[in-house]
Amino acid sequence: MRKRWIIILLLASGFGYLIKGRFNPEFLGIIFVGVSGLLIISIEILLRRNSTISLLVLSCGLVIGLIIASLGSIFIKEPVFSVGLAIGFSYLGLALSYEKRRDFMHWLSEKKAAALPKMLLDTSAIIDGRILAVIESGFLSGEIILPRFVLKELQNVADSSDSIRRSRGRRGLDLLKKMQSMEPPFEIDETHIPEVREVDAKLVFLAKRLNAAIITNDYNLNRVAEIEGVSVLNINELAQALRPILLPGESFFLQIVKEGKEFGQGVGYLEDGTMVVIEDGGSYLGKKMRVEVSSILQNPAGRMVFTKVAK
C-alpha cells in the first residue's frame, strides 16, 4: 500500500512539473499537484476505513453542504467568498454527518431488528428438546424470546419432588444453556403481567402485545392462541409434516417391541416415534417382521399406523 502512495505522489509531482509554466511562481504548480496527491491518498484511506453505509452518510452530508453553499452564493458576487462558502459548508456537512453516522446506523439496525419476526418460547417446547435441532437447522429466523414467567415455570418443574418432572425440567434448563450460544440467540423478556394468572394466558397476552408467534407443543395452548388470533409454531405439527408418507399396501420391516391393547396385537415404533399397531403381531414379540400397512389414523395429537404381518 505504501508503494502505491509513493507512486501517486511521484506521478502528481511529475504532472506538476509539466504544468509549472501555468503558475507564477512556477514552484506553486508542484505544490498544488503534490497537495492534490495527498488529498487522493486521504480519500483512499477514508474509503477503506469506513463502511458503505458510513460513506453514504458522508456523501449525503457533503451534497447537502454544497447545496446550501450554492443557495448562499446567489447573494454573494465575489468568487473568492463563494469558494470559501462552498468549502466551509462542505466541511460542515462532512463533519456533522461523520458525527451522526453512528446514530443513523443504530437507527437503521433498530428498524431492521423490528422487521424480524418475534417468537415466544413455551415451556412444553423447551422440555420437548426438539426445538434445539430446529434452530440448528436454520429454519427459524428472527428474534426468539423467553418470557421470565416461562423460565420461572421451568425452574418450578426442575425443583419438583417428582423425579420424572424434575428430570424433564433440568433437561429444559440445559437446553436453554446450549441455545444461548446459538444463532439466533434467545432474549429474556422481563414483562410482568399481574392481571393474568395462568402461564398460558400470559403467553397469549404477551404474544398479542409484541405481535409475536408462540413456539409450543401444547395442544390446548395451540387452539386457544389460534382463537385469539396469535400465530403458533407447533413442533409436533412440524414433525408430522416431515414424517415419511406411508400408503396402504406398502410394506416394511419393523421390530415388534410390546403387546397391544387388543388381544393378539403387537406394537412397534418408526424412527420418528410413530406408533405402529400390528394385527396378530403379539406372537412375534421381540422379532423384526415384515408388515403391510392397512390404514393410517391421523389426528391433531399424532398419527398411528395399523398394519398386519405380511405373507
Shared domain check, 231 and 278: no
Mean pLDDT of 248-271: 88
Q: Which of 83, 114, 145 is the last residue of a domain?
A: 114
Q: C-alpha cell of 32?
A: 498544488
Write the pLDDT tens digit of every residue in 5-50.
566 556 656 655 555 555 455 555 556 555 665 666 666 666 565 5
Average pLDDT, the chain: 77
Structural domain range at position 64: 2-114
Write the pLDDT tens digit of every residue in 79-111.
656 666 776 777 677 677 766 666 666 665 555
Shared domain check, 158 and 77: no
Q: Which of 90, 114, 138 is the last residue of a domain?
A: 114
Whether residue 266 is predicted with pLDDT greater than 90 in this model: the reply is: yes
Q: Give the pLDDT of residue 242.
A: 72
CATH code (residue 268): 2.40.50.140
Which distant-in-sequence residues (6+ apart) come within 8 Å of 192 by Cβ?
A: 148
Q: Give the pLDDT of residue 268.
A: 92
pLDDT above 70 covers what percent of the chain?
68
What DSSP assignment string belongs to 210-264?
HT-EEEE--HHHHHHHHHTT--EEEHHHHHHHHSPP--TT-EEEEE--EE-SSTT
Say how far residue 264 (Cα) sits from the centre of its chain. Answer: 51
- If 0-12 CB within 10 Å is exposed, 13-18 middle and 19+ buried, where does residue 155 land? middle
Shared domain check, 175 and 267: no
For 75, other C-beta atoms within 10 Å of its C-beta total: 6
Q: C-alpha cell of 62?
A: 457533503
Mean pLDDT of 215-225: 89
Which distant-in-sequence residues (6+ apart) come within 8 Å of 104 by Cβ?
A: 53, 57
Question: Quick one: pLDDT band at residue 74, thresholds 50, 70, 90?
Answer: confident
The H or E element containing residue 33 is helix 27-49
**Using an 8 Å Cβ cutoff, are 176 and 186 in contact?**
yes
**Using an 8 Å Cβ cutoff, are 266 and 281 in contact?**
yes
CATH code (residue 188): 3.40.50.1010
Question: Quick one: pLDDT band at residue 214, thresholds 50, 70, 90?
Answer: very high
Mean pLDDT of 242-256: 82
C-alpha distances out from residue 261 to 196, 266, 281, Å: 42, 9, 12
**Using an 8 Å Cβ cutoff, are 304 and 277 in contact?**
yes
Q: Which of 69, 91, 114 is the last residue of a domain?
A: 114
Dihedral in degrees, nearest 10, Cα atoms 189, 169, 222, 267? 160
